[in-house]
Amino acid sequence: MKKIILIAAAVIVCLTAVFCAAACGDEGDFKPEDTLSYDQYMYYFGKTEELEAELIGVNKEELFISDGKVGTLVDEVRLSLRPLKPAMLDKEYTYVLTGESGTLSGALSKDNFGVTFAAQLQGVEEIGKVLSVTFTDGEGKVTEVALENAVTEIDNKAALQIAAESFKAEIDAALAEGDFNRETYVKLVRNDHDPEGGFYWFVSFIADRDDYWAALIDSKTGEVISTRKSTAAEDTETVVTTPQD
């Protein structure tokens, strides 16, 4: 029961994030990839007792507008540092991102909320497989963090197809009426409530704030953990659980 509640909470958190950016897919022959307005393809994660580090790559709309079309897409790779101790928030940080065939370096800037430091990166693909990131604060303290690639067995493209199959009846019905009219959002999320909970793909087909179909998919097995369908007239949720021994 606890696992079901945590998974349901993850779905709600993701839905809250994506509703700030609704846009819709083009008419015509339906291909899920043609309706993407947010497509996360990279996620590296690492943690020490003092900080968390993330490297996220996303292809997303430059400007989110609910206009019935997917707007101009831009690629963004973002490195972030989240201090776990309050005293670390008052410092400045530089980074060295290390890959198998090179490094990238630069300075981090504090975000608008004042709790995370981040930098937009260019040329990550040129350093090969990402291995680690080293942070240096303004006092010269150096912290190296090994980075784990969370995009493994099931990638963003596979997750999209799994979600499309889960909502095949709804998609077919929409196409039969002549217009799919939805944007698609694909994001890899981490189960912060359970250290052993792993990562899940969150995929949502969104018409607007009150009309969406969402699925949470295990990133290792491809199992659809839960689905949620909401319209102005109905709101239903299905949670799939594996019997415990």
* Distance spanning both ends of the chain, measured CA to CA: 15
- Name beta bridge partners: 120: 78
* Count of structural domains within the chain: 2
Point out the domain boundary residue: 124, 149, 174. Answer: 149
Where does the pLDDT of residue 211 fall: very low under 50, low under 70, confident under 90, or very high at 90 and above? confident
Structural domain includes residue 64: no
Give the CA distances from residue 23 to residues 69, 103, 170, 202, in Å, rounded to whole numbers and listed in that order.
Answer: 6, 36, 19, 17
Q: Exposed (0-12), middle (13-18) or buried (19+): which is 75, by Cβ within 10 Å?
A: exposed
Give the global pTM: 0.81
Last residue of a domain, one of 149, 182, 206: 149
> For a pLDDT cut of 70, what percent of the chain falls above it?
79
Residues 124 and 171 in one domain: no
* Same structural domain, 139 and 110: yes
Task: Give me the pLDDT at residue 71, please.
Answer: 80
- Of the residues 101, 126, 149, the one at which a domain ends: 149
Q: In this structure, are 102 and 134 located in the same domain?
A: yes
Q: Is 15 among the domain residues? A: yes
Q: Locate 160 and state its tokens.
A: 């999209």
212's enclosing H/E stretch is strand 211-218
d(CA 154, CA 94): 33
**Element spanning 204, H or E:** strand 199-208
Which residue segment(s) compose the domain that 190 sits in? 2-40+151-239
Residue 67 lies in a domain: no
Per-residue pLDDT at 88 exceeds 60? yes
Q: Is a pLDDT exceeding 70 seen at residue 57?
A: yes
Check whether residue 162 and residue 219 sit in a common domain.
Answer: yes
What mean pLDDT is predicted for residues 123-127?
96
Same domain, 228 and 183: yes
